[in-house]
Amino acid sequence: MIDDARRTTGDGTGPAPQDDAALDPAESLRLIRAQQDRARDLTPDGRVVYGTWGVAWLVGYGALWFSVDNADSAAGAWAFVLFGTLVLAAIATTVVHTTRRSRGIAGPSAQVGTLYGIAWGIAFTAMSVTLGGLATAGASPDVVGLAANAMSCLVVGMLYFLTALVWGDRRVYVLGAWILLVGAVSPYVGYPGSYLLLATAAGGGFLVMAGAEVRAARRRAATGG
């Protein structure tokens, strides 16, 4: 796909006089398609973003589930460290990737993008503070764990609705609804099964989304080149 774009770009870099030679419609359309493909560089790659988060949820929550010895104990410290590391790595990947893709773009969408990124930060900070409050009020580790899982899904699902509406992407809307559903039923699954549900159903949701992006990219490569 990238090779195609490079090849066609090479054709268009000649001196200006070459431009005055008659372009035939097929060549024009090919140039347009190739350049539109190249311009995909201006938007984040869903394969990277959803793939990263899918792995983080699958492995991170999977580890938390695995580390719980019995229903009365919190997940193991090593699992929390692994989970935290994966989440931080996913945040870093997302931020670096989207910042790189959007560099050089100024205007309304740059402001929207910044405010959108900050919204994630505020929402998860508020959630963490709330969970701290529940623990302080005497909630047991299993109740805090259940609440943390359900609330994480609530925040992600709602913010994905926002994503879908701002960028007009229906698939993200469906993913958001799925994550909300998973979060809503997760407390009923109980502790520590809730961790396993998030790893498989929610993590799987991200990976299905990444898979859809891979298929879309393949389709574009097949028809656009």
Q: Which residues bind another protein (CB under 8 A)?
A: 9-16, 18-20, 22-26, 28-29, 31-33, 35-36, 38-42, 103-110
Between 10 and 138, name the residue whose CB sits nearer to another protein: 10
Least separation in angstroms between residue 111's CB and another protein is 10
* Angle value at C-alpha 71, between 65 and 75, nearest 5 degrees: 40
Between 142 and 213, name the residue whose CB sits nearer to another protein: 213
The amino acid sitting at 22 is: A
Least separation in angstroms between residue 97's CB and another protein is 16
Least separation in angstroms between residue 222's CB and another protein is 13
CB 176 within 8 A of CB 160: yes
Least separation in angstroms between residue 220's CB and another protein is 13
CB 146 within 8 A of CB 195: no
Residues in Cβ contact with 181 at an 8 Å cutoff, skipping those fewer than 6 apart? none
Between 16 and 129, name the residue whose CB sits nearer to another protein: 16
Between 105 and 118, name the residue whose CB sits nearer to another protein: 105
Q: Which two tokens stand for residue 44?
A: 């984040």
Between 15 and 138, name the residue whose CB sits nearer to another protein: 15
Concatenating the DSSP letter of every residue in 33-78 gives HHHHHHGGGGS--HHHHHHHHHHHHHHHHHHHHHH--STTSPPPHH
Least separation in angstroms between residue 62's CB and another protein is 38
CA-closest candidate to residue 61, choices 212, 213, 204, 211: 204
Least separation in angstroms between residue 1's CB and another protein is 15
Between 1 and 127, name the residue whose CB sits nearer to another protein: 1
Q: Which two tokens stand for residue 56?
A: 């983080």
CB 45 within 8 A of CB 213: yes
